[in-house]
Structure 1
Amino acid sequence: MNTAVGDELPPLQVRLSRADLVRYAGASLDFNPIHWNEAYAREVGLPDVIAHGMLTMALAGRLVTAWTGDPAAIVEYGVRFTRPVVVPDDADGALVELSGKVGERREDGTLRIDITAKFDGRTVLGKAVALVRPR
């Protein structure tokens, strides 16, 4: 992987449905009703059911692993959750748009990948950064 600072990763778009949220809840054992019960989500002040933050984080990680071709190439990864991904109960669901670029090449050869995750044109993850060791 020969890359330079500023190189962009191939973008990734993922459409999330309510069924995806149910599957993720089962896999993660996170059955918080804000992720499946519209009435409850609204009762606690959300606009509708929202995607699990860790699911959104995983999608951003997928952007990087698709680019590296090797999940083990990621040596560090972190994000801040800044805004929820609202998933309507319709056929379209929610479109999460992911992009990234090489922000830094470090002396040890690792690359800092700066990730952007957007829903509805607005950023949903802040300080999303992966440190990658190219193989």
Structure 2
Amino acid sequence: MARIAYADVEVGTELPGASFPVTRETLVRYAGASGDFNPIHWNERFAREVGLPDVIAHGMFTMAEAIRVVTDWVGDPGAVLEYGVRFTKPVVVPDDEKGALIEVSAKVAAKLDDEARTVRVDLSAHSAGQKVLGLARAVVRLA
């Protein structure tokens, strides 16, 4: 895949958005890969006892799904120099065949350094009509 050229990008450029489905099975697989077996991510009774509406997706999982919009666009995960978010709402994952959907959009918010060819990309992530990530930003080096 060809890398995006810095000269071809303007502030306001919208990246192709994406939607990422999340089911309880997805959470179990992520727990196994990450080692995060907190019961809020798989045990509905426990999640409700601690005040959550239902089982929720791992924050790091949500964060990882969101940055996929940027890495798919730039064509090289190594081009992401910085990435940070604030978690605003959990992604609630019902125990049904549909689960939840994380919807992500992003745009180039600033050109930071012409010599280094870096841009700041602002991301927006929603699930069930709620913003789940705030101040989601990545610094990316373009070709």
Place the TM-score, normalised by the shorter chain, in its bin.
over 0.9
Mapping of residues 37-116 of structure 1, within 5 Å = 37-107=43-113, 108-116=116-124
Runs of 4+ that moved beyond 4 A: none
Q: Is residue 123 of structure 1 aligned with residue 131 of structure 2?
A: yes
**TM-score, structure 2 length as denominator?**
0.93
Over aligned residue pairs, what C-alpha RMSD do you find?
A: 0.7
For structure 2, list consecutive stretches of 5 or more residues without a partner in the other structure.
none
2:68 maps to amino acid: R
Residue 122 of structure 1 and its aligned partner are, at CA, apart by: 1.3
Question: If each structure's strand is expressed as a fraction of its own residues, which one has the higher value?
Answer: 2
Match of 1:21 among 24, 27, 31: 27
Residue 128 of structure 1 and its aligned partner are, at CA, apart by: 0.3
Match of 1:133 among 121, 137, 141: 141
**TM-score, structure 1 length as denominator?**
0.98
Q: Name the count of aligned residue pairs.
A: 135
For structure 1, list consecutive stretches of 5 or more residues without a partner in the other structure.
none
Provide the secondary structure at the position in 1 that maps to 2:16. coil
Q: Using the aligned pairs only, state the percent identity.
A: 61
